[in-house]
Amino acid sequence: MANSEAVKEPAGKGKLKLILVIVAAVLLAIGLSVGATWYFMHSAKSTPEVAPEAASNLKPVAIYEPMAPAFVANFNQNGRQRYMQVSITLLARNQADLDALKVHMPVIRNNLVMLFSAQSFDALATPVGQEMLRQKATASVQEVAQKEVGKVVVEQLLFTNFVLQ
């Protein structure tokens, strides 16, 4: 029996080896995690190459042009006087074309005033009626732009304030 006890290691040294192996494995896992995180973070920062056909699909930056002052229209509904106030902003993509259209702003304002005055107060009281009016107003501005500038300059006409009383 003395020979078998001499071959065995003390109990403290076996546990120490196990702890060292576990600590080494944890440090290796942490190192791999940090390395992978660093790799993916730096590869995400690099700008990807944009193909020429993909670059042509990008829209130019939006340009917003408010039309001041706000439009006011009045309605006579069942002997009662009603009012509508609308603030409008134009959405375009080309500043030069928008500047060319600004010369014709009196014609655009006239057409919009006539369009707003011809509406029914009851129709404008619903969101669907307001959206229909916005689309008609957009078409009216685009028509003037097509006639005067030669192209559709305004992409959208946006109601930034809409008040019915």
How confident is the model over 147-165, as pLDDT tens digits?
988 888 899 999 999 999 8
Residue 3 has pLDDT above 90, yes or no: no
pLDDT of residue 114: 92
With 0-12 CB in 10 A as exposed, 13-18 as middle and 19+ as buried, what is 156?
middle
pLDDT of residue 58: 80
Residue 155 CB partners (closer than 8 Å, separation 6+): 62, 91, 92, 93
Identify the band that residue 139 occupies on the pLDDT scale cut at 50, 70 and 90.
very high
Q: What is the pLDDT of residues 81-127, one digit of tens each?
A: 889 999 999 999 999 999 999 999 999 999 999 999 888 888 888 99
> Tokens for 102?
């600004």
Q: Which pTM was predicted?
A: 0.63
Residue 11 has pLDDT above 70, yes or no: no
Count of CB atoms situated within 10 Å of the CB of 80: 8
- Which ranges of the chain would DSSP assign to H, the alpha helix? 2-7, 11-45, 52-56, 95-102, 105-117, 121-124, 127-148
Q: What is the pLDDT of residues 16-71, one digit of tens each?
A: 889 999 999 999 888 888 888 888 887 765 555 555 555 567 878 999 999 989 99
Alpha-carbon distance values, 83 to 48, 71, 80, 159, 160 (Å): 54, 10, 10, 16, 17
CA 27, CA 30: separation in Å to the nearest integer?
A: 5
Count of CB atoms situated within 10 Å of the CB of 13: 9
Q: 């020979």: which residue's tokens?
A: 3
- Please say whether the beta carbons of 118 and 73 come within 8 A: no
